[in-house]
Each structure stands twice: as structure tokens, then as C-alpha cells.
A and B are shown apart, each in its own frame.
Chain A
Amino acid sequence: MAMNNQGRDSTPHSVSVTGDVVTFTGNKALQQEEALIFEMDNPGAVGVDLPEPVTVKTRLGGLSARAGVGLPQLAEPDVVRHYTRLSQKNFAIDTTMYPLGSCTMKHNPRLNEKMARLPGFGDIHPMQPVETVQGALELIDQLAYWLKTLTGMPAVAMSPGAGAHGELCGLMAIHAALDARGESHRRRVLVPESAHGTNPATAAFCGFTVDTIPAEENGRVSVEAVKAKLGDDVACIMLTNPNTCGLFEPQIREIADAVHAAGGYFYCDGANYNAIVGRVRPADLGVDAMHINLHKTFSTPHGGGGPGSGPVVLSDALAPFAPLPFVVHGKDGFTLVEHAKDAGEATPFGRLKGFHGQMGMFVRALSYMLSHGADGLRQVASDAVLNANYVLASLKDVMSASFEGPCMHEALFDDRFLKGTGVTPLDFAKAMIDEGYHPMTMYFPLVVHGALLIEPTETESKRTLDQFIGTMRHLAEKAIAGDLAHFQAAPRLTPRKRLDETQAARKPVLRWVKPVPQAVVAQAAE
């Protein structure tokens, strides 16, 4: 039998086809169209092999067993491919620069993932006897030590589940401290207008009223503006530092002193702690409480929206009110204080979470801290600030920087450079997507018009920053040159073009519903 040895073409054809590529499947090579898992139902298939249960007389207390749930059935290969394909429709730090201001999208080291998956951390139950989880309690204690040492604060509450939950923890501690002082009439909370939305929402969630402090022309909060709002009904100020404009509040100590002198507390939103970690201790700024987003500064993954972790460092004035449970080191090792009666002198304000906190995130954060050490963490802040200033300096001639002078870890621009072009910050952001970048934060903070907030983080290389800067300059020049259509049509290369958010909100479709079979529809019509 003769061998077919005719070979194959090894050079591409020089045929050019213009216009959008249309395929039979709707797929675009690596970009696969993917149905909902419910539409892939393959009755009779199963993705797990479970043994038959032993035969017993059921004891459901008089309840009858459920008839069915309505879940689709698929074998493992189909499930794995489905979610793998979905993953390919996401931008992520692993694949592109993700300069979302205020979100600190830094590299998530995989060592942290490996450590969190050690069975000694991942496979232990929160209600096991404490003598069987000494290593876990020791890890929480070590992480607490790092957080206290870095911030200079005497205490830390570990259980909050995310930043906003940490804010809640801090404000509840303040609430409790005021009640203990017999000053329950202090129910007004001062919040600068540049604050994250969680700040006023949290204050309201605690039953406080929110009083907004206007921002100064230079993006800062002035001590005079704060003093004008102080009074004996003020519970606290909630101040972000560095603030949401990416600026360090130069009068922060004066503001803290003024608030303290008026009998209030200073809650610091620590969302931007990455800019100062290892270089400035919040304790030296007069802070009474500050949450730390472990998923920002300490590199635990954002996971598409969580889980996070938001430990709250507390001053001596607030420490006694920290919530249950907490770890203490006694003569027989570590113990877990779960009830107020075991809290000694302390008077915990209550409990915030089902169990002890986000242990999986604690392991990752400590892994990151040990990796960086005191020297590395200081360098983190330095490089984060350097990177942001490099972006600011390299773009301020083509984009409009909102404020004079250097920034901290994020560079704030506004939409003045787009004036007269018809291009909105949203259009500009969508054009960045086609160039392979996740957009920066837009329209926040609210104190500048059409905000564009860029936070590169310390884990981007100079080469990446130079490419990014080149892209941003190109887009800015393109917008100014009048190529409006380019921006309004963007993004064009994503699995979906711009989505109709108005329709989504007007007629909410929040779940899949099994379609009624055609035969039934026809019957109903008769």
C-alpha cells in the first residue's frame, strides 16, 4: 500500500476578506458561544458516582420526601468544559492589567492558594474542640500580630467578612463605646462627599445619620470644614486615607485631634492602605478604627466579587467592644472566646458572622506577609505610589489630571480632555477593552466630573506600564482627533458588545425558567 506523502501547505494563503467574520456556529475560534447549563440538560447523565444509600426506614418526622428540584443533568466532561468556556469570557489580573482605582487589583500569588488548601487549614471545622485546632488559632493570632504591628494599633477584630462588614464592625464598636460613655445622643456621622458608597450606607445601617462634608478644590478635606460640622451630637468621622482621589490627607492629624477634642471618634476607611503599608502607621494619624481589606492590600484574590475579609484594627478606646469570637493566648495554649461571659474585662458588642471569620483569607494574607516581610511591604507601598505617579506624569499632557502635584497609589483624571469630542468616559473605557485592558474606575469619586481613576498597583512592570501609557495616549489623541465612532462602537472584539442595562432593570430577568413546550403553548392558545 502506497504512503500518502503529498505534504501540506506551510505558508499561509494571501487571501484577504473584509468585514465582520461570520461563522456557522457563532463561535470565533477561541471564543465559544455557551448556552446556560440548564439548556444543556441531558436527562440520565450524572456528574458524580455515588453509592446506593443503605436501606433504612426514613425518619423525616412526618414530612414527605421532595418530588424533585428541577436541576439539569450532565456528565463531568460537559460541566468542566462549560465552566472553562465561561472562564474564557473574563478579564483577570492573570491575563491583563486591571487598573481599577480603589480596588487594588494586584497579583494574587499562587503560594497563597496552595497554603490555604493545606488540609490543616481547609479541612478543619469551626466547632471542633479548641485543643484540636491550636495551629489554626495560632495562625489567626500571628496574622493579628502582623496587622497590629503594621498599623501600630493595640487591637484587631478579625471576624468581618469584607471591607463593608469591617466598616460595620468599626461603627458598631463606636456605637457601643458611646453608649458606654452615656453619650447615646451622639448619632451624627461625618462623611466626606468623596467617600466610598459603603461609608454612608454603613453609617445608616447602624442607625446613624449621615452629614456630608464638602471636598475642597484641591481634593482634600480641610480641618476647617470638619470643625464647622463638629458638635456634641457627632459620633465619628469616616475618612478614607489616602482618599478616593488618590491623595494623602495632609491635615489628617489635625482633623483627628479636632474630632477627638469634640468627643468623637475617627473611623478610617482602609481601602487604600496599600499606598502606605510599611511606611505610615495609622495609629500615628490618630485613627480609632480602620478596616483592612485583605483582598486589596494583602493580595487575597477578588474571585469575581468575593470572598473578601475585613479585619478592623482598634484603638484602646474601642478595643474592649470588639465582637465575638476572638482568640486569646492563655497558659494552656490558645483559646477562643465565644461568649461575653468569658470575655473578662471586655464588653463585646455582639457577633458579626456565623463563625470566626474568613480563615481561608487569613492563611493567604499571612502567606503574603511572610513572603514580603517588613522590608518588602514597605517596598510595596513605595512601588505602588511610584507606578501611579509614573502613569500620572506620563499622561497628564494628553489627559486632564484633576489635581496638581503627585498622587499616592492611584492617578485621578477627569473628562475635561474629552470636552467637545462627544466621547464619554464610558466610551473611552470601552475602547480600552478592545485594546486588551480592563478599564479604570469611572465616574468615581463623585467630586470630579467624569472621573477616570487609575490604580496600577506595584505588581505591574515598567514594560507593562509603558504599553498601557502608549495605549492611553493613542486613545486620547484619537478622541481629540474626532474619531467619535470608534469609541461609540466599542467594544467590538468582546464576546458581547455593549449590553442594554436599561432593559435589564426595566424588565428584570433574574433566573432561567424552563420554557413551556410548544405543544402546550399551542393547546393553551386554542
Chain B
Amino acid sequence: MRYLPLTDADRSSMLATIGVDSVDALFRDVPDHAKLPGKIAGLPDHKGELEVERHLSRLAAKNVTASSVPFFVGAGAYKHHVPASVDQILLRGEFLTSYTPYQPEVTQGTLQYLFEFQTQVALLTGMDVANASMYDGATGTAEAVLMAARVNKRNKVILSGGLHPHYREVVETTCGIMGMDIRAQAPDWKNAEDLSALLDAETACVVVQTPSLFGHLRDFTALCDAAHAKGVMVIVVVTEVVSLGLLPSPGSMGADIVVCEGQSIGNGLNFGGPYVGLFATRDKYVRQMPGRLCGQTVDADGKRGFVLTLSTREQHIRREKATSNICTNSGLCALAFTIHLSLLGEQGLVQLARINHANAVTLADKLSAVKGVSVVNDGFFNEFTVKLPKKAAKVVSKLAAKDILAGVPVSRLYPDVEGLDDLLLVAATEINSVEDMDALVRGLEEVL
């Protein structure tokens, strides 16, 4: 078997060194009833590369890929072009097959890119500091809520109706079990909610999203001011991180914690994972942050180097008193993010964001011209909500049959809320050509 270097001759000689007759003797502590006499039934034997490739390729071929059809699906994960060099560097074994950089002298490569990643995230979000990543945006949001509660020792959480429902559910699951009082607002598809009125002295934090699930944009400065006056922390969530090339940073609006889904930069769609959660905050809260942090220091010769630091917050030191239980995070996805963002640079990111917005505006105009279809949003970045004359789920299904992936029906995210059945979330990025958009328009005209 190709991944196992020991030969039978090796095994015999090693058993002799150990002084036992067989490997079975090494498993002597396993209770007899649990010792399997041979290989487990119901599973095939080993296969060569070619057979494995054939097996998996057959499964892959059953899926419709984003690149192969007009594609407008967003709602928290976005199809962008990732430069070829990103993946080539990820495949370098020194990055791919390395462990968490607990031995800094032999992991300066990982540590330096984490330091660069933290800096990029801080710059993008307009915050002071960022950690070395979380699993994804949704889990990062739950961690942010727990962190806010640690900071101000309060228990109530207000979740905007513009927050992605999956994020809401992760917060409810993760923070609910801790007994937090979670007040999720109704889906705010009209961009009409006023959260300031809900804030009081028991409120730990308010969680808002920009662009919202429905694509709406808002200036949160007034909300932040109102919240801070009452000691409430504001958590701003960004699920489409490319938007930060064009929109004002959450930090500039006064956010206390910013959480982003970083998938859009450097990472493919991957059917939902692995993705990378970005987590940024103010300097004063750094010791309450979850997750790993990379810091700058010097070596014995006084040369600059990097180490994991402030680990007294973490589970391997602090155990049950840790700020989070997170250990493995999204290191390699963070590297993909960092390389892609370095390639984009200031000019590239801003231009990418402008292209996304321009394509979305173009698409919105085209869709508005379809009979019975209206765009709900006043403002948006690269995704918006359209109101259809029919149930969006059915329309999406019919368009899928025509090889057009039109977007996400709001009813898939909110199956229990009435009055949302005719709403569709539509995203446009730099990948969408005018021909794609026209195909969607034609398809809609046919099925409506």
C-alpha cells in the first residue's frame, strides 16, 4: 500500500527489537470483546490512484459547477476569480503539511504570513487588531457575542433582521446554551428596522450586518453612538469581504468587533467549507479575544521574528477558563486570503470592488426591466433582493433546469416566515458577463 513504507521484513525486525511476536501483542490493553479479528466488514479493500480518481470524478461530474453556467448565487458565499498563483503557493508542502506554529524557530514562514494576515484584516475592517482566523464568519460571530458578554458582563443580545439566518442560528445555538438572552429581529428585507430603541443597560451587544442579507447598506455611526452611550458593544458582520474595497470600514463607523467571512478573497466556494472567519477588534479588548494571535518579537540575536502570543487566553494553557475552546482554525485559508489580497493590493482591491458593484447595478437595471420583477434595494454592493410575481423557490428550480443558477430564494433561509416567498437574493461579481445577465433575463421572462 502506497502510503505505508514498512515492509514485512521491517515489521518482523522491529517486532524483534520490541520483543513481541506480533502487533496484536501491542494491543493487549484492548478488552477482548472489542478486538476485531480482521478487517471491518462492509467496506471495500484498498484501491490504486486511478480507481480512486474514477470513483470521485464520477461523483464530481454529477454537480453543476459555478463556472459552467450563468451563476448569481450568493447569500454568504461568493464566486470570485482567484489568481492561479494563490493555489500554487498553497500547494507548497512547507505550508500545506506544516502544523500550528508552536515551534517558532521552524515556522517563521507561517508566523510571518499570519502577522501579515492580521494586519490586512485590521486595515480592511478599520480596526486596531485581528486574530489569526476563526472557522468561518458564522462561528466568528458567535465568538464575538460571547466576547462582548465577557467584556461588559451583560447577557442580552440583539440580532439585526439583516443578519444572515445561518449566523443567527449559530449564535442562538452557541450562545443560547450559555443562557444568553437572544433577541433576533424579524427579517428586515425592507431595510426599515431601528435597533437603537432596543438597547438598554442589560444589552451586551447588538449584531448588524453590512451589506445585510438582503444586500442593503447602512451607516451604523448613529447606532454605534447610541450603543456606546449605554455601554452596549456593536458587532458588525461582513459576509462579502470584497465590499470593504468600496464601502466605509465598520471601524470608521465605530464598531467594537468586526467579523467577516473571508471566503471571497482567495478561497473557492467548496460547497460551504473550508472558509475563513476574520475577527477584529479594538486594542483595549485584545485580552478578551478568542483564537490564536501572532505577535512580533526579537530572537536571541535581536533580530525581528514572530511568535504565537497571549496564549494565556487559550485552551491549551487556560483549560476551562479559556476565552474559547478553538484550537485548529483556518490557517491555510488565511494564507490564501493573504496571498490574494497581496496580489490585489490597494489598486486591485478597489477596482475589483468597483467591478462587482458596477456589474450588480447593471444586472439590477436589467432585472427591473423584466415585467413583474422589481428590485427592492435602494443601495447595495454586489447583491440585492428582487421581488418576483411568483414563488422564488419554484422560479429558481425552473431556471436550474435551464442551467441558470439564479440566486437564493429567501424562503430557503426563512421557511417559517410568511410574505417572503416571492423574494430572491441575486449576486453579481466580476465573473458575470453581460451574456450571463442577458441569459438570466431571458430565462426569467420564460418562466414567469
A132 to B326, CA, bound (A): 34
Q: Which B53-92 residues have a C-beta within 8 angstroms of A?
A: 53, 55-68, 71, 73, 75-77, 79, 83, 85, 87-89, 91-92
> Judging by beta carbons under 8 Å apart, are A60 and B247 in contact?
yes
Question: Is A307 touching B331 in the complex (CB atoms < 8 A)?
Answer: yes
Query: Does the CB pair B106–A305 fall under 8 Å?
Result: no
Which residues of B sit under 8 angstroms from A87, Cβ to Cβ?
89, 92, 94-95, 109
A373 touches B297 (CB 8 A): no
Contact A307 B118 (CB under 8 A): no
| Chain A hits for B61, CB < 8 A | 120, 135
Question: Shortest beta-carbon distance, B105 to chain A, in Å?
Answer: 4
Closest A residue to B311 using CB positions = A505
**Contact residues in B for A132 (Cβ distance below 8 Å):** 63-64, 400, 405
Q: Is B412 an interface residue (CB 8 A)?
A: yes
Q: Which residue of A lies closest to B352 (CB)?
A: A50
Which of A64, A205, A278 is in CB contact (< 8 Å) with B40?
A278
Query: Assuming the A-B contacts A61-B216, A301-B332, are A390 and B14 also in contact, with contact meaning beta carbons closer than 8 angstroms in the complex?
Result: yes
**With contacts A50-B352, A305-B99 known, is A128 near B405, CB below 8 A?**
yes
Q: How many residues of B contact A (CB 8 A)?
A: 212
Beyond A164-B325, A496-B105, A505-B309, whether A51 also contacts B34 by CB under 8 A is no
B95 touches A92 (CB 8 A): yes
A499 pairs with B104, CB closer than 8 A: yes
Are A139 and B343 in contact (CB-based, < 8 A)? no
Give the chain A neighbours of B35 by CB distance below 8 A: 279-280
Q: How far is the CB of B273 from chain A (nearest CB, A)?
A: 4
The stretch from B154-162, B372-380, B440-448 touching chain A is: B372-380
Contact (Cβ within 8 A) A406 B109: no
Whether the Cβ atoms of B271 and A73 lie closer than 8 Å is: no
Residue from B23, B101, B299 within 8 A of A498 (CB atoms):
B299
Q: Is the pair A207, B93 in contact by a Cβ cutoff of 8 Å?
A: no
**Are A385 and B139 in touch, CB under 8 angstroms?**
no
* A53 touches B (CB below 8 Å): yes
A359 at the B interface (CB under 8 A) = yes
CA–CA, A58 and B51, complex, Å: 52
Given A91-B106, A107-B3, A508-B293, are A354 and B261 also a contact pair (CB < 8 Å)? yes
Minimum CB–CB distance for A283 against chain B, Å: 9
| A36, B319: Cβ atoms closer than 8 Å | no
User: Cβ of A509 and Cβ of B296 under 8 Å apart?
Assistant: yes
**What does the 1/0 interface line of A95-132 toward B look like (CB < 8 Å)?**
10010100101011101011111111111111111011
With A47-B83, A373-B47 as known contacts, state yes or no: A393 contacts B17, CB within 8 Å.
Answer: yes
Query: Assuming A72-B345, A351-B166, A394-B17, what are 13 further A-B pairs, CB within 8 angstroms?
Result: A47-B83, A71-B344, A90-B98, A123-B65, A139-B56, A201-B319, A303-B331, A306-B331, A307-B274, A349-B173, A354-B77, A359-B272, A511-B115
Interchain residue pairs A-B with the least CB separation, the first 10: A61-B379, A120-B60, A355-B272, A350-B173, A94-B93, A135-B62, A303-B332, A126-B272, A305-B331, A47-B343
A selection of 10 A-B contacts at a CB cut-off of 8 Å is: A60-B357, A61-B379, A64-B248, A115-B52, A127-B75, A304-B101, A305-B101, A305-B328, A357-B273, A375-B46
